[in-house]
Structure 1
Amino acid sequence: MTEPANSLNPNALSPNSLSIDDRFVIAAALDRILYDDPDHFAAEDARLLRRMIPRTRTAWLRLGFRAESQGPSMSGRAAGVGDVKMDGDKKVTEGGVGESAVWRCGQYKISNHGDDLEIWQVMSDEFAEEPKGARLEFGPTGTPERLTFFQPKDLELRIPFTGIAVGLRLGGWQPWKKAA
């Protein structure tokens, strides 16, 4: 994952990274925005994040996928035990198209799309059981406006007379906080 240089900090460790100090400042601002007040966040913290996280090009279409398959299973009878079933190993394949550059800052992954900053906890993404993502949105003049959280909508299509099911997760962003 390539990380563009932070043009605001001439002391960055390399042209392709944010300095460790920048990452601490970003993580602290994110902690304040997400956890300080349940209904509002400081607009200055949002402006600070937008200045520090370099803007990246965003594809007009972003798609992610996750495929799970179950290996073969066996069943039978075991002496003294009875019926026994052993499931095969689960294989998970993930990928995506149109993904933006992401910066790791503390417990967060963050990317700057210009009109918004997308924030995810490190061990979470769109496909997690309980995804933990937020989006910090800015108005046309660059004023921080609101914070939304990721609320997926899951659909499952089963193919009759087969064991095949196709799941589809559509992302949706729900209102959370407003700028103070």
Structure 2
Amino acid sequence: MSDQDLPMEARLEAHALLDRLTRDGQTFARDDARRLIALIPVTPRRRFTFTGLFQGRGPGFRGRAAGIGDVELDGEGRQKQVTWNAPPVHRIGGYLVTHTPGQVVIDLLWIATREDLTGQSCQLLYDSETDEPRAMEISVQKTLTLLFIRLAYISYAPWKVPEG
């Protein structure tokens, strides 16, 4: 998580703003977006970043149980998240928030526990010169399978526009 901790008052205010911005609907409040942009510290955009999640299963057990017959127990799932050159992430309530110039990315805290990441993340786009919100986009997961390797990637689709 972030080295740049937000004060508790700012964190509580940001949480309320995030709840309102991510509600269902076709529009979002322009003032809420402006306030969130001002509240979350901006970090410089990185040219290249990488975030990956590797998942696997531990060793299983197969045997014979008296009175039951053949049994098989799968090993416990393991996962490792790897990041390289990624901007700081702020944990605010149930959200993970990253703010780079022109973009505030909002992930649900439990995003890594879902198989399909569609709708688990969104981004608020704004003009970095004027801090004027332009739109919000929602995540859509797509998958590419090559032999035994499955690559999932996220793209963003239009979701909401500012009111008025």
TM-score scaled by length of structure 1:
0.78
Distance 1:74 1:139 in 2: 56
**Does 1 or 2 have the higher relative contact order (CA < 8 Å, sep 6+)?**
2
2:126 match: 138
Change (3 A) 1:70 1:148: same
1:110 match: 97
Q: Are the counterparts in 1 of residues 116 and 141 from structure 2 also a CA contact under 8 Å?
A: no
1:7 match: none
Given the alignment, which residue of 38, 51, 58 partners 2:25? 38
Change (3 A) 1:166 1:28: same
TM-score scaled by length of structure 2:
0.85
**Equivalent position SS for 1:129:** coil
One-letter code aligned to 1:135: Q
Distance 1:75 1:146 in 2: 53
Change (3 A) 1:19 1:152: same
2:158 match: 175
Count matched residues.
160
Instruction: Give the share of equivalent positions with the same residue, in percent.
Output: 28
One-letter code aligned to 2:99: N
Given the alignment, which residue of 111, 115, 139 partners 1:129? 115
What's the offset of the Cα at 1:130? 4.0
Distance 1:105 1:88 in 2: 33
Change (3 A) 1:31 1:69: closer
Larger Rg: 1
Q: Does 1:154 align with 2:137?
A: no
Kindly report which structure 2 residues correspond to 1:21-32, keeping only aligned pairs within 5 A, or say none.
21-32=9-20
Change (3 A) 1:83 1:174: same
**Equivalent position SS for 1:38:** coil
